[in-house]
Each structure stands twice: as C-alpha cells, then as structure tokens.
Structure 1
Amino acid sequence: MILSFFDQFTLTTYFGIPLMFLAMALPWIFYPAPTARWVNNRLITLQSWSINRFTHQLLLPVNPGGHKWAILFAALMLFLITLNTFGLAPYTFTPTTQLSLNLGLAVPLWLATVIIGMRDKPTHALGHLLPEGTPTLLIPVLIVIETISLLIRPLALGVRLTANLTAGHLLIQLIATAAFALITVHPTVTLLILALLYLLTLLEVAVALIQAYVFVLLLSLYLQENV
C-alpha cells in the first residue's frame, strides 16, 4: 500500500540492486531491430520515418557543422520518449522523475556545447555574455547576469523535465484515489472522475512526448549558438 503520494518516486531496490537501471534498460527491447532484408516491415519503416522526421525538425535551426550530433539527438529523444511513456503504465517506475538522472543528461551535453563554442569560436561564444551596444556602466552587471543565465541552463533543462512529469503523475494518482474513495458513495460522480482520468492520461502521454522533444530541441538551440 502506498503510504505517501511521493512514494512512487522513491528509488526502489531488489537485493540491494537499484531497479532504476532495470527500468532504463528494459524498454529498449520493445523497439524493432533493423534486419538485413531488402524490404523492411511496416513497423521498422514507420520507426525509421518517424526518427528521420524528428531529427530533420530538430536540426533545422542548426548550422551544418552541428549536424554530426544528429545520431546523438535522435538516440536521446528516443530514450526520453521511451522512459516517459512507459512510466505511465501501472506498476512501473519512471526514471525521468528523478532530478539526478535528468541533470546527468543535461549537464554533460550542455557542457559539450559550451566547450565546442570555446574551442571553435571563442570570440563568438564569449560575445553572448555581453549584448552589443551595452552602456559602459552596465557592462559588469550584464556579464554577471548573462554568466548566471548560461550556467543555469542545464538546471532549467533537468528541473523542467522532472517537474512536468512529477506533477502529471501526482495529479493522476490524486484523481484515481478520489475515484476509489467515491465509487461506493457516488457512482455517478465516479464515472465523471474516471472520464476525467482518461482524458488526463491522454494528456500525460502528450506531455511525455512533448517534454522529450523540448529537452532535445533546447539542446540543439544551445548547440546552434556555439557552432
């Protein structure tokens, strides 16, 4: 029995082994693997078309120099979509509700874009810290503000993904708890609550897909500033 609404976000272990790693690894077996056949089946064709469209859309604002990140972005988006959507199934755990995992993805990738900018275009990368035409008296203040804004980007990426998924899961559990509590007292009200719960679940599926896309899209925009 769940003692707290936040128990669903607690890292569980089995024989001392964190099940988070299992939750991160198992969903990949549901993806069809490419075969050596000349003609692919419908599922693999749909998967390839979807990945190509998403990757093309992500790389539209990026210069050709950043297109080498295409495979990484496509894999990251599939990874996040898989974890987000499978976490909505009953008796499952959603690793992306953990801020540690999201920061573990956001910080290295953001840092890689910054290092690329400092290596290839140091003047252009440092130019983002000071807008053109800034009054002399405001230069130190704006440099500090822009530096803080730059350093807070990975935190914003991780917190955005964590907060959206956590809020959705909590709202679903609250409404489901209300439905179970009212099922014997007000059956008609319970039916309305179940209809609301169904619509909310569809919304959460959309949120799971959109948040994965937004996470990777923001990384592509950070990359665009440094290539």
Structure 2
Amino acid sequence: MALNFFDQFSIPYILGTPLIIPALLFPLLLWPSTSRFKKNRYSTIQHWLVNLVTKQLMMPIKPEGHKWTSTFMTLFMLLIMLNTLGLLPYTFTPTTQLSMNMAFAFPAWLMTVLTGLRNQTTISLGHLLPEGTPTPLIPMLVLIETVSLLIRPIALGVRLTANLTAGHLLMQLISTAVVTIMGSLTTTALAALITLLLLTCLEMAVALIQAYVFILLLTLYLQENI
C-alpha cells in the first residue's frame, strides 16, 4: 500500500532488483528487426511516421547538422516508448525520474555545445555577448548568458519530468476518487471515470508531445552551434 500519492514515482523493487532496468529494456522488444519484418503494415506505417517527424525536425537545420539525425531520432523514439508504455497498468515510467531525464538531457546538450566550440569557436563564444552591448554592461551580460546556457539541460530535464509527473499524479487522484465514491455517489463516480478516460487520452498526447519538444529544443540548440 502506498503511503502517499508520490510513492508511485519511487522506483519499485522485486527481489532486490530495480524495475527501472526492465522498463528501459522493454521498448527494445517492440522495435522491429529488419531480418524478421521485411515488409508489413506495421513497419510501413512506422517508417512513414519516422520519416515525417524527421523532416519536420531536421529540415530547418543546416546540412552540416543532418549527421545528427540518427542520434536525435533514436532518442526521440526511446522517449516516446518510455513515456507511453508507462501509461499501461502495473508499469513504471522511467521518465518521471529527474535523474533519468538529466541523463538524457545533459549529454545531448553538451554535444551541441562542444560541436559549436570545435567548429566555430568565435561565433559560439560570441553568443555570450550580444552585439552592441555597452562596455559597463559586458561583465553582467556575459554572466547572465553563461547562466542561461548552463541552465538549458536542467530546463530540458525538469520540463519532461514535471509534465509527466503532473499528469500521472492527476490520474492517480481521480482514479482514487472514483474507487472511493463508487458505492455512495454513483453519478459523480461515473462523471469522474469519464474524466479519467479523457485525461488518459490527454496524457497519451502529452507523452508524445513532450518527447517531440525535447528533441525540437535540442535541434534548436544544435542550429546555434553549426
């Protein structure tokens, strides 16, 4: 029995083994192997959707950044699977853990920064100081822009964690209310159940959108450094 509503975001253990490990490996079982799925409806639809999203994300970027397509799309598909599979009953969502999301956000952000420093050092450092800044304001603006740059991976991780956690917590609250009042207030319980079903659909959309926003922001960061 959970002591409070936030216990659902604690990593569960079975026989001393954290369930976050199979939760991270389970999406790999759903990814079709080219040796087993040569041509079928599932692989065709998946290929079309991946190509569509890839064009939306990578077309605005300069050709120099297109070599990052496979990296970003792999991370995008992994986030989608982790976010959506966590909505199934008796499952655990790894992306509700801030540490997990920071493990995704920080290396990806660092890749974009190091790319800019390697390929265009002067321009990348020039982003820390807007053009035409008065001399007395230079130290303060450099400090502000540096903090803004360093806070980007934190914003990526916190945004993904907060949106998924809020949705899961709201679903937990409504489902608990439905079970509690089902015997006494049937009409209210039915209305709450309908709300829960609609919220589940909304949470599915949030899971997809947040994965898209995560990768979209990474592409914008990459665009600044190529």
TM-score normalised to structure 2 length: 0.97
* Matching residue's letter, 1:9: F
* 8 A contact 1:34–1:44 mirrored in 2: no
Distance (whole Å) between structure 2 residues aligned to residue 184 and residue 13 of structure 1: 33
- Rounded to whole Å, the distance in 2 between the matches of 1:21 and 1:75 is 18
Gaps of 5+ in 2: none
**Matching residue of 1:224:** 223
Amino acid at match of 2:66: H
3-state DSSP of counterpart to 2:189: helix
User: What SS does the aligned partner of 1:149 have?
Assistant: helix
**Could you say which residue in structure 2 is the equivalent of 1:95?**
94
Q: 2 CA distance for matches of 1:171 and 1:17? A: 28
Q: Which string of whole-angstrom CA distances, capped at 9 and with x for unpartnered residues, describes residues 148-197 of structure 1?
A: 00000000000000000000000000011111111011101111101110
Measured in 2, the distance between the counterparts of 1:153 and 1:61 equals: 21
Structure 1 equivalent of residue 9 of structure 2: 9
Q: Which residue of 1 aligns with 2:68?
A: 69
Alpha-carbon offset, residue 11 of structure 1: 1.2
The alignment status of 1:34 with 2:34, answered yes or no, reads yes
In the alignment, the residues of structure 2 paired with residue 89 and residue 17 of structure 1 have an alpha-carbon distance, to the nearest angstrom, of 21
Distance of 2:192 and 2:16 partners within structure 1: 39
Structure 2 Cα separation of the partners of residues 226 and 215 of structure 1: 17
**Equivalent position of 2:50 in the other structure:** 51
Give how far 1:36 is off: 7.2
| Alignment TM-score, normalising by the size of structure 1 | 0.96
SS where residue 133 of structure 2 aligns? coil
Cα drift, residue 62 of structure 1: 1.2
Q: Is the partner of 1:6 in helix, strand or coil?
A: helix
Deviation per CA, 1:95-126, whole angstroms, max 9, x where unpaired?
00000010011111111111110011001101
* Percent identity (aligned): 58
- Structure 1: how far apart are the matches of 2:126 and 2:18? 44
Aligned counterpart, 1:135? 134
CA RMSD, 1 decimal: 1.2
Name the stretch that deviates more: 5-14 or 160-169: 5-14
Separation in 2, partners of 1:16, 1:177: 28
4+ long deviations beyond 3 Å: none
What residue is the counterpart of 2:155 in the other structure? 156
Q: Distance in 1 between matches of 2:43 and 2:21?
A: 26
Q: Which runs of 5+ in 1 are unaligned?
A: none
Letter in 1 for 2:43: I
- Give the match for residue 202 of structure 1: 201
Distance 2:173 2:31 in 1: 32
- Give, as a single letter, the amino acid of the residue that structure 2 aligns with 1:119: R
- Are the equivalent residues in 2 in contact too, given 1:58–1:217 (CA < 8 A)? yes
Q: Letter of the aligned partner of 2:34 in structure 1?
A: P
**Deviations for 1:45-69, whole angstroms, at most 9, x for unmatched residues?**
0001111111111112211111011
| Whole-angstrom CA distance in 2 between matches of 1:5 and 1:36 | 42
What is the aligned partner in structure 2 of residue 144 from structure 1?
Answer: 143
Query: Is residue 61–residue 221 contact of structure 1 (8 Å, CA) maintained in 2?
Result: no
Please give the alpha-carbon distance, in whole angstroms, between the structure 2 residues aligned to 1:30 and 1:110: 28
Given residue 97 of structure 1, which amino acid in structure 2 is its aligned partner?
Answer: T
Q: 2 CA distance for matches of 1:21 and 1:222?
A: 30
Q: Retained in 2: the 8 A contact 1:59–1:70?
A: yes
Which AA in structure 1 matches 2:35?
A: T
